[in-house]
Structure 1
Amino acid sequence: MALKLKLLLSLSATLFLMQTPANGATCSNCFVSSRASYYPNSTEQGTETGACGFGSFGAMINGGDVSAASNLYRSGVGCGACYQVRCTNSKYCSDKGVTVVVTDQGSGDNTDFILSQRAYGRMAQTSDAASNIYALGVVDIEYRRVSCSYPNHNITIKIDESSNNPYYLGFVIWYQQGDKDITAVELCETQNYVCKLLDRSYGAVWTTTSPPSGPLSLRMLLSGDDGDETWLVPVNNIPQDWKAGATYDTGVQIS
């Protein structure tokens, strides 16, 4: 009887050890250890020439709490994603850290993030502590994907300055919300609903030659880490006489 009990306990322990790594591997809210630096020659905010193609919007979005990413850039799919980043030196760093938006691509000394100076300093407990982590240049961090939220803004389309109606249309998507990636974009004619899949030119820039005519309905495919995919159709259309450089409010937010 005692031998049988030992065998059962041993089997239970083995099953627990086999299950624990699998559960940990599927944790979508866990922090990941890495390193972060900051733009040494920038102003407090981000850069206007980031690889996502946001332009000046990429420097000021989220109050300037932005970052370049290395592997998390993901060929532009990671543009607009939000991450909670906190440094791990308990002497200088706060538990909350800072939430940043990916607006650029870049890497430093084994870093996943190159933060704006503003965002980098906001990981610290105090302004004096911020001076200390600035002096370090690179700090150990932990990060996790979080939902982007812009309560006072709907998702907005910014038409690229090089666009030429009706021959060429390019745009970026501002105020990307939620915690899913935009992995595909379609433009559809509102009258007969013929749709055209756009190309990701680079970063967050979507383009097409010979765009559909008339007022245009936009469709965005939202993809989650769990494999869930949903097409989002904005309330407002892009007008037929769209202009290069113009912005158009889609009328939707993602909670």
Structure 2
Amino acid sequence: MGISLKYHFCLLCVMVLLIEICYSQDTFTCSRATYYGSPDCLGTPTGACGFGEYGRTVYDANVAGVSRLWRNGTGCGACYQVRCKVPQLCTDDGIVVVVTDYGEGDKTDFILSSRAYARLGRPNMALELYAYGVVDIEFRRTPCKYAANLVLKVHEHSNYPDYLAIILLYQAGQSDILAVEVWQEDCKEWRGMRRAYGAVWDMANPPRGPIQLRFLVSGNAGSTWVQPKNAISSNWKAGDTYDTAIQLE
């Protein structure tokens, strides 16, 4: 009995140690990752976030589809440091990827573009890493870093003047955009936009004239409203982009 108890105690210690490794002070979480094939090794323009071509090449095509981290679309645009746990093949620092799509794999949190998956490995180790198909990883949320300000784009599904859909690009930091509202001048009040899907926000019968928006942004001290100075022009059209002159933290 004493040997059995000692064995189980040691096993428990090992399990606790593994948990500590997976959930360390650096807040890394253990998981698995795989990849999807594409002719050019980039992302897909039909990703569930609605990013379009931006979702193919942002962060030099280090993009990923996620499931648990999707968070009903709030996770779109979030950045994660992903490190592969095959020491003989993988780099120590791994890569930073941007969430641009939804996807489910074999108990995986990340389905990477094939280019991003290859970059988990050391030089000239891509083929060996591909052969694994699925690898153990650890990941943590990390700030996105862009040279550009937060950009507001009128989504391609918009139809002037009756239907407006927008998407926000180059969202830096670790904040999430929780809500978007439009100023209704005739009523002197803010009117909420709907999260249509992924990171796309929309509204039927938007206000006429210049359109002023504000975003509810998560933060360590609680959520706060952020309002860009620049408005969407009164004669907006699908594909228009606007520099908000702000950046999130």
Say yes or no: TM over 0.5: yes
The question of 1:237 aligning with 2:246 is answered no
Please tell me the residue identity of whatever aligns with 1:107.
Answer: E
1:56, distance to aligned residue in structure 2 (A): 1.1
The question of 1:172 aligning with 2:167 is answered yes
Could you report, residue by residue, the CA deviation over 1:86-129 in whole angstroms, capped at 9, with x for unpaired residues? Answer: 101111111110000000000111100000111111111212x2
1:241, distance to aligned residue in structure 2 (A): 1.1
Q: Is the deviation greater in 38-47 or in 88-97?
A: 38-47
**1:247 corresponds to which residue?**
241
**2:49 corresponds to which residue?**
52
Partner Cα distance (1:194, 1:118) in 2:
46
Could you report, residue by residue, the CA deviation over 1:143-170 in whole angstroms, capped at 9, with x for unpaired residues? Answer: 000011102x111111122212221100
Unaligned runs of 5+ in 2: 1-19
**2:118 corresponds to which residue?**
121
The question of 1:210 aligning with 2:174 is answered no
Partner Cα distance (2:127, 2:156) in 1:
40
Q: Which runs of 4+ in 1 moved over 4 A?
A: 26-29, 189-193
Unaligned runs of 5+ in 1: 1-22
Please tell me the residue identity of whatever aligns with 1:177.
Answer: A
Aligned residue pair count: 230
The question of 1:108 aligning with 2:102 is answered no
**1:139 corresponds to which residue?**
135
Please tell me the residue identity of whatever aligns with 1:147.
Answer: P
Confirm or deny: 8 A CA contact 2:64 2:111 kept in the other structure: yes
The normalised TM-score by structure 2 is 0.86
Q: How does 1:52-91 map to 2 (within 5 A)?
A: 52-91=49-88
**2:196 corresponds to which residue?**
201
Q: Root-mean-square deviation (CA), in Å?
A: 2.2
Confirm or deny: 8 A CA contact 1:85 1:143 kept in the other structure: yes
Report the CA distance shift for 1:70/1:28 in structure 2 as closer, same or farther (over 3 A).
farther
Confirm or deny: 8 A CA contact 2:80 2:96 kept in the other structure: yes
Confirm or deny: 8 A CA contact 2:175 2:248 kept in the other structure: no
Please tell me the residue identity of whatever aligns with 1:241.
Answer: N
Aligned partner of residue 173 in structure 2, secondary structure? coil
